[in-house]
Amino acid sequence: MEITSGTISTDYIVIGSGVAGLRAAIELSRAGKVLVITKDRATESSTEYAQGGVAVALSDEDEIGFHLKDTLAAGDGLCNEENVRILVTEGPERIRELISWGAQFDREGGGIKLAFTREAAHSRRRILHANGDSTGREIERALLAKVRAAANIKKYDYSITIDLIVNDGRAEGALVWREREKKLTAIYARAVVLATGGLGQIFQRTTNPEVATGDGFAIAYRAGAALTDMEFVQFHPTSLYVPRAPQFLLSEAMRGEGALLVNVRGERFMPGYHPRAELAPRDVVSRAIVSEMLKTRSEHVYLDLRHLDAGFVRNRFPRIYSTCLKFDIDITEEMIPVSPAAHYMMGGVWTDRDGGTDMPGLYAAGEVACTGVHGANRLASNSLLEGIVFGARAGIAAAAYGLRRPAPRKEAIACKAADAPKDDLLKVRSQLRRLMWGDVGIIRSGESLGRAIDTIDGWREFRDSGPLSRPWLEIRNMLTVGELISKAALARKGSVGAHYRTDYKTRGRGWERHIRFKRD
């Protein structure tokens, strides 16, 4: 394969094109030239698939204080309260701004009032939604339109970031593989914003799109930035369980509108697990489902909407209705087989309230970042809000930092690559996903975590060198992230939020500490 290489410079780099990345890019474009780098097409991110909605204290029955309280309660004692306060206080203004940019949320009362739904662990109806169950897609559409209209923002699609360029402990750019052009490009900038999203693909069962391979976590770690709370992976209780069908998310808003969970014997079980029944926090519902699956020796439970009005269900959940119909399930007439799946990473690259990491020049926002607003368990629909609020804050802070820096330099840079058979890479990817699901999934133990760490260590050669290609660049990141999650989960000798160990079922001593990783 012939590879060409080159060096360019810009003012700011944003890696990732979901809600947080685009929102940061809009702020940065006021300060200079911005390059948004994304490894697939621009719309291919978790934002695009976010169904339920965006939580914001804007309804008549709601208050910022209630949103704060619910978020802290879901986070199970490990939230950064100051940052949660920023999230819920700045959220309403950021959402009004998004509406002024053209985002259309569902309305009621003849279009006069915004329509709010309820989701688990929310004490009020506070979830805005768009086109029923396509909220993320609508937000992405509005932000992309704004980005496309900004003369200062350029996009590199199908471009995979290999690593950050770091000089004297400072992020000064990114080394990027432009897949279609077969071109290696060193891109220098005044500051870099990492907004690469999540890592669900390292688990066999996930609601996340193919692109969610944990790239940003691994890139930041290799660069030397600190990562924190990596043991806290959220498992969504209900993803479609149909052999050979995609693991499609069945929004929590369905339970918010009255859907029930029943086991394969047809028994409703959630009231026996939690006073809030189907609307208990996500970690509780996921573990209850696993427990019912074990009890009934089944691979799934059912989500039942048959008692709800069929017309309402079709209108409220059009995307879910049509997707399930493709797999011959009419959700208005039949129960839907569901099982939990990896959904969201609460931990990530440590940041302050302005998206600043502990590495000068590097900012992070969205799922890849850990602002601490989710603690040990994220409150449903707080992630789009976090992307909007902290994406903007990271953009503003990175712009200010960049304006204080000299013009970026331009130096050629080399990249090491070797040959490895593609089949082997795909095999390791599949084995890793099964390992993480089985040993580092919803229910963990010291034994299973030790086994996972040893197994991943045995795949070191696949992490350390490989062909310059998307499969290798992804598996390299997935192995790094799998190892970090397993080590963090082993280090936390207790069960808190979404992290549950059979050998330490209580919180344990020192539970309020955060586990931080740094290379070396």
Which residues form the interface with ligand SIN (CB under 6 A)?
A: 51-52, 251-253, 343-344, 380-381, 383
Question: What is the distance in angstroms between the CA of the first residue and the CA of the last residue of the chain?
Answer: 34
Could you tell me the two tokens for 81? Answer: 């309260």
Could you tell me the two tokens for 9? Answer: 């410079």
Q: What is the distance between the alpha carbons of residues 297 and 299, in angstroms, rounded to a whole number?
A: 7
Does residue 400 contact residue 110 with C-beta atoms inside 8 Å?
Answer: no
Minimum Å distance from CB 210 to ligand SIN? 18
Could you tell me the two tokens for 137? Answer: 């897609």
Minimum Å distance from CB 242 to ligand SIN? 18
Q: Which of 205, 282, 316, 378 is catalytic?
A: 282
Choose among 481, 509, 516: nearest CA to 493: 509
Active site residue 141: no
Nearer to ligand SIN, 220 or 253 (CB): 253
Nearer to ligand SIN, 374 or 429 (CB): 374
Q: What is the distance between the alpha carbons of residues 362 and 225, in angstroms, rounded to a whole number?
A: 8
Minimum Å distance from CB 339 to ligand SIN? 14
In the sheet that 516-517 helps form, which strands lie side by side, from edge to edge?
Answer: 369-370, 348-350, 227-228, 516-517
In sequence order, the β-bridge partners of residue 174 are 164, 187
Minimum Å distance from CB 49 to ligand SIN? 9
DSSP-derived letter for residue 268 is: B
Nearer to ligand SIN, 128 or 380 (CB): 380
Does residue 51 contact residue 136 with C-beta atoms inside 8 Å?
Answer: yes
- CA quadruple 493, 499, 501, 507: dihedral, nearest 10: 50
Minimum Å distance from CB 53 to ligand SIN? 7
Q: What is the distance between the alpha carbons of residues 79 and 92, in angstroms, rounded to a whole number?
A: 20
Nearer to ligand SIN, 128 or 396 (CB): 128
Integer-rounded Cα Rg, in Å, for the chain is 22
Q: Residue 444 phi/psi, 5° resolution?
A: -125, 165
Q: What is the distance between the alpha carbons of residues 482 and 138, in angstroms, rounded to a whole number?
A: 32
Nearer to ligand SIN, 27 or 252 (CB): 252
Provide DSSP, 462-484. Answer: HHH---SSHHHHHHHHHHHHHHH
Minimum Å distance from CB 373 to ligand SIN? 13
Nearer to ligand SIN, 253 or 432 (CB): 253
The residue with its CB nearest to ligand SIN is 52
Q: What is the distance between the alpha carbons of residues 38 and 102, in angstroms, rounded to a whole number?
A: 23
Produce one character per residue of 275-288: b if its CB has 16 or more CB atoms within 10 Å, e if not: eebbbbbbbbbbbb
Minimum Å distance from CB 499 to ligand SIN? 18
Nearer to ligand SIN, 253 or 331 (CB): 253
Q: What is the distance between the alpha carbons of residues 74 and 119, in angstroms, rounded to a whole number?
A: 12
User: Where in the sequence numbering do the catalytic residues fall?
Assistant: 282
